[in-house]
Amino acid sequence: MEAVKINTYRRLVLQEDQEDERRPFNRKYLSRLAGYLRPYRKAVVVVCLSSIAGILFSLLGPYLIKIGIDEYIVPRQMAGFSRVILFLALTIAGQYLALLLQGALAAKAGQNAIFDLRQELFIHLQSLSLGFFDKQKAGRLITRLTNDIDSLQQLLSSGVTTLVTDTLSFFGVFAFMLWMDWRLTLVTLITLPIIIWLVFYVRRRLLMGWRRIRKKLSNVNATLNESLSGIRVTKAFNREEENYRLFTEINNEHFQAAMKVAPLSAFFWSSVNFLNYLGTVLILAIGGLLLRYDWVTLGVLAAFMNYVNRLFQPIMNLSTLFNMIATAMASCERIFELMDITPQVQEVANPVAIGEIKGEVEFKHVSFKYAGSDEVLHAFNLHVRSGETVALVGPTGAGKTTVINVLCRFYDITGGKVLIDGVDLRKIALKDYRKQIAIVLQDNFVFSGSIEENIKYGKADATKDEVIAVAKAIGIHDFITSLPAGYATQVHERGSRLSVGQRQLIAFARALLRDPKILILDEATSSIDTQTELAVQIALKRILAGRTAFIIAHRLSTIKRADRIIVIDGGCIIEEGKHDELLANRDGLYRRLYESQFREA
């Protein structure tokens, strides 16, 4: 099982790696994503205004330098120079405060939007029916809640401000330069086409390369994780050399991806620096020539030297934004397609508030089939009286668990009716109904936390005395109190500190604490040793009294005391009665199953 889980995890990671992250631009998805910022639109407006203020302050700085040089330094009239310095200091302080306010509010609005999106997606996943999870891998859903949503965080935090501020900044700088001197502005534009090519073509390829590196690194991490998680299987099957070969292959893919990006990255940044220096040299060369003939002033030349560095940065920022949007399209599509899935099991418009049920259950001509499979139940009829204990037996695939799934309304039947106290189950409010049933499975999930918290999972408001009472009834109290922390003992993820049998007994206590009207035991004693099973059988005899119970068991010795045994084969009831009655039928399926187990024993 551990090896299967490891290989499944690796296939999942590789499948995610093969998915194309760059999807066509979808205005609907982008608009829907922006909708998560609407509750924080006041903060977004303040962010935009502070960004505009920051741009104005940054544009004034070089102009003040021009004034200081031309009107005070060159003519050596220093009387008013202190005012220029003061204004320059104020613009720097104003720009700092504007950027500080912009960064803080943008991050807060973006984080709030991401929080809302993740909450909404989690709640939606909780509402989906089991039929959906039958077709989906848990790892892929976790990826939607983590990686896909995280990839949108920067876009929601800075996307709007980047679009507004960098667009305004580029045109603002260009306008100031053109106003001050059109000839130097034309000189500045000489390098602009090359910069645009570098930013929108070379840098786009560079960003794609960096994404490939991150995904290859995630494969390295996945391979490392599976190797560590499955170390027992690895050593048991002597797979160390094979694992080394596999890790070398994955690690080499990451190395090759990095080596492809390295020269492109060196070319890009070297080119950007070269063009910055080239622009500066051109401004100095042409500006010096113009200065010689008094066509420009020294202050204009100094301002241009400052502006030229600010002209190209918005282009790079907008390029990053466009690539961010392109990448986000894949995550948006995966997230919103998931959120648009509707639950297969839905309540009617005005469900019946059934109140406290008695536990009478009736299946009337019920038929059912799972998606993409043949019919599992065929005209299934069964009437269970309130307080009756019914055992369901039959060969694997006969439909026993399907009966339970239908009874819990994990799936909706395709024909017939399931009646609870005479009311159609599909008309009953699901929360009201499920509060009054409890199920113990063969492989019960134990959550991280204390033993007490796990027992109280189905009844959060239970008292400590109630928890101890059900633990004693099940026969697990002495074991719990023998632990150093008793009921506060932490069981770790999936109950890794407990044996299989101990986890099963905790699941029994969890179900019984709920005091359900209908109790379902699906192979619930299969993981318990014989001695513990005897104790549980004694406890169940007392606990099942007055409670409707459905028991599925392959070990037929555990259901001898059931009020009625239902033998199912091919989705139909072929026998029913008490243990001795069914055993007396020499040609019956129950007798054959019982004798087969007896021979194996």
Check residue 96 and give its pLDDT.
92
**φ, ψ (nearest 5 deg) of residue 408:** -80, -5
pLDDT tens digits, one per residue of 171-217: 888 888 888 888 888 888 888 788 778 777 777 777 777 777 767 77
Q: Where are the domains of the chain?
A: 2-339
Check residue 75 and give its pLDDT.
81
Check residue 1 and give its pLDDT.
42
Check residue 550 and give its pLDDT.
93
Check residue 592 and give its pLDDT.
87
Domain 2-339 = CATH 3.30.70.270: no
DSSP for 458-489? G-TT--HHHHHHHHHHHT-HHHHHHSTTGGG-
Q: What is the 3-state secondary structure (H, E, C) of 285-336?
A: HHHHHHHHCCCCCHHHHHHHHHHHHHHCHHHHHHHHHHHHHHHHHHHHHHHH
Residues 306 and 596: their CA atoms lie apart, in Å, by: 91
Check residue 586 and give its pLDDT.
79
Check residue 515 and give its pLDDT.
84
User: Which residues of the chain, if any, have pLDDT below 50?
Assistant: 1-10, 12-14, 16-18, 20, 601
CB 159 within 8 A of CB 373: no
3-state helix, strand, coil in the chain (%, to 5): 65, 10, 25
